Amino acid sequence: MEKVYRFNQSEKKLVEKILDDDVAMINHMILNQEDALPEHDSNSNVYLVVVRGAIEMQIAENPSKRYEKGSIINIPGKIKMNISNVDSEQAEFFVVKAPSPRLYK
């Protein structure tokens, strides 16, 4: 009945896909200080769930904002975004894309 998905812990930068089906895609990420993801456009409705540390994110042309542990941030599809960790503590977060980008129009 249930299906269990596992994710890793790491002392280094980590980007891993946990789930990829039509309903949703879930990625798990860990960024150390000065780590960043390449600037990109969101390819679905995106929900970022920060579970440890904090991330700094610039959305579209808006100034960067800091989002700490316990934050869930929603970014609509087709919006430019840039995510980084400027703190000494690791930033860990999950990226939930719903629906899967392959079905997003």
pLDDT per residue as tens, the chain (105 positions): 999 999 999 999 999 999 999 999 999 999 999 999 999 999 999 999 999 999 999 999 999 999 999 999 999 999 999 999 999 999 999 999 999 988 887
**Which CATH fold topology does 24-92 show?**
Jelly Rolls (2.60.120)
Cis? peptide before 99, omega within 30° of 0: yes
pLDDT value for 49: 98
84, 38 contact by CB (below 8 A): no
pLDDT value for 104: 86
Amino acid found at 67: Y
The whole-model pTM stands at: 0.94
pLDDT value for 15: 97
CA angle 95, 101, 104 (to 5 degrees): 125
85, 33 contact by CB (below 8 A): yes
Q: Give the pair of three-digit tokens for residue 71.
A: 């934050």
- The structure tokens 């930033």 sit at 91
pLDDT value for 105: 79
Enter the DSSP assignment of 36: B
Nearest to 37 by CA among 14, 69, 7: 14
Domain borders along the chain are 24-92
